[in-house]
């Protein structure tokens, strides 16, 4: 019974093209006569400037969606346009989202941004600590199984607080010291 905000990708070609075409037309007419919520943010950091524009419109504005009945409690279509100015280039991308949240660009934009913050932080940690991007395991269920084990190990290491060291140092200590490894595993079992 939770709310959702899901990315609409081109692997749903009919729905994706319907939303993309509607958005391009509505934006070219500056959303004239359409109930729309708009929010814009500019962030600077890491030698780049990112401008994020978010539009939220009610599903009814599109006149219904392709196979709309598959999306329980859907209320809002969200459009996010990101323009990144790096020191040597500028990139622009548009993403579409389906949301059960109210038509509020600020709220939907905040939820989307929080998701990416968590996603980026976890992936970065897994890559730095466990060299996940270097892994060449590709067959059958092995990639998913190993990814699950890495996340469990990351959670266990994070829960162990008696040793104040980096994740990488804790991982190495656990590999060399069976008592410390057992301490980490106990933390995982208590969670």
Three-state secondary structure of 113-181: HHHHHHHHHHHHHHHHHHCHHHCCCCCCCHHHHHHHHHHHHHHHHHHCCCCCCCHHHHHHHHHHCHHHH
Q: Which residues on adjacent β-strands are paired with residue 99?
A: 5, 76
Do 175 and 120 share a domain, yes or no? no
Rounded-to-integer distance, Cα 184 and Cα 158, Å: 9
Do 89 and 114 share a domain, yes or no? yes
Do 78 and 96 share a domain, yes or no? yes
Do 51 and 108 share a domain, yes or no? yes
Do 92 and 113 share a domain, yes or no? yes
Residue after which a domain boundary falls, among 130, 158, 178: 130
Say if pTM beats, i.e. exceeds, 0.85: no
- 56 confidence band (pLDDT: 50, 70, 90): very high
Do 107 and 139 share a domain, yes or no? no
Rounded-to-integer distance, Cα 39 and Cα 49, Å: 17
What is the extent of the structural domain holding 160? Answer: 135-190
Do 125 and 140 share a domain, yes or no? no
Least confident of 50-59, 73-82, 117-126, 137-146: 117-126
Do 23 and 101 share a domain, yes or no? yes
Q: Which residues on adjacent β-strands are paired with residue 56?
A: 37, 78
Do 39 and 95 share a domain, yes or no? yes
- Number of domains making up the chain: 2
pLDDT of residue 96: 94
Do 34 and 111 share a domain, yes or no? yes
pLDDT of residue 117: 64
Give Cβ neighbours of residue 79 (< 8 Å, ≥ 6 apart): 23, 27, 54, 55, 56, 57, 94, 95, 96, 97
pLDDT of residue 138: 81
């Amino acid at each position: 019974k939770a709310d959702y905000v899901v990315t609409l990708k081109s692997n749903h070609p009919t729905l994706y093209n319907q939303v993309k075409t509607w958005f391009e037309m509505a934006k070219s007419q500056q959303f004239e006569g359409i109930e729309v919520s708009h929010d814009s943010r500019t962030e600077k950091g890491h030698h780049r400037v990112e401008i994020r524009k978010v539009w939220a419109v009610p599903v009814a504005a599109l006149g219904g969606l392709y196979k709309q009945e598959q999306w329980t409690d859907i209320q809002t279509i969200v459009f996010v346009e990101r323009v990144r100015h790096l020191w040597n280039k500028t990139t622009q991308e548009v993403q579409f989202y389906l949301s059960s949240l109210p038509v509020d660009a600020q709220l939907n934009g905040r939820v989307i941004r929080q998701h990416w913050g968590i996603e980026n932080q976890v992936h970065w940690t897994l890559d730095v600590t466990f060299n996940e991007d270097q892994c060449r395991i590709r067959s059958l269920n092995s990639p998913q199984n190993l990814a699950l084990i890495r996340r469990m190990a990351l959670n266990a290491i994070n829960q162990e607080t008696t040793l104040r060291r980096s994740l990488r140092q804790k991982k190495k200590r656990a590999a060399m010291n069976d008592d410390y490894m057992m301490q980490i595993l106990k933390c995982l079992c208590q969670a």
